[in-house]
């Protein structure tokens, strides 16, 4: 499966107010799901001495899938192709690595 296929297929399951004209819903969903990922990682550090067993990895796989779903919906709402978003990200990071500016701050460094 590629990003375009995922974006198209995930859209078939989009059920939220004003699908096609609602940036806020998938943005909030993305934040919530990313928070769930962070919370699971936090609990592994607190309760499991940082050991990510198979059960936790499986839980994180599911949560990361939810993050991906919301990223795809937000991209679609914005009229962006997820494959192009991913490609642009890799190009940006490669450019930063080539210029030795991976570290630091600023979106357009």
Give the domains, in start order, of the chain with CATH numbers.
3-83 (1.10.287)
The predicted-structure confidence for 58-106, as pLDDT tens digits, reads as follows: 999 999 999 999 999 999 999 999 999 999 999 999 999 999 998 888 8
The predicted-structure confidence for 4-62, as pLDDT tens digits, reads as follows: 999 999 999 999 999 999 999 999 999 999 999 999 999 999 999 999 999 999 999 99
The yes-or-no verdict on residue 109 having pLDDT over 90 is no
- Alpha-carbon distance 71 to 69, whole Å? 5
Contacts of 29 (CB under 8 A, 6+ apart): 16, 70, 73
Token pair 């609990």: residue? 43
| 8-state DSSP, 36 | H
| In contact, 63 and 33? CB cutoff 8 Å | yes
């Amino acid at each position: 499966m590629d990003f375009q296929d995922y974006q198209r297929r995930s859209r078939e399951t989009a059920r939220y107010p004003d699908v096609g004209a609602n940036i806020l819903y998938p943005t909030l969903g993305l934040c919530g799901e990313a928070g769930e990922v962070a919370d699971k990682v936090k609990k592994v550090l607190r309760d499991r001495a940082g050991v990510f067993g198979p059960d936790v990895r499986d839980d994180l796989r599911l949560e990361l899938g939810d993050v991906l779903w919301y990223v795809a919906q937000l991209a679609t709402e914005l009229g962006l192709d997820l494959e192009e978003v991913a490609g642009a990200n890799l190009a940006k990071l490669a450019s930063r690595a080539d210029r030795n500016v991976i570290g630091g701050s600023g979106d357009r460094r």
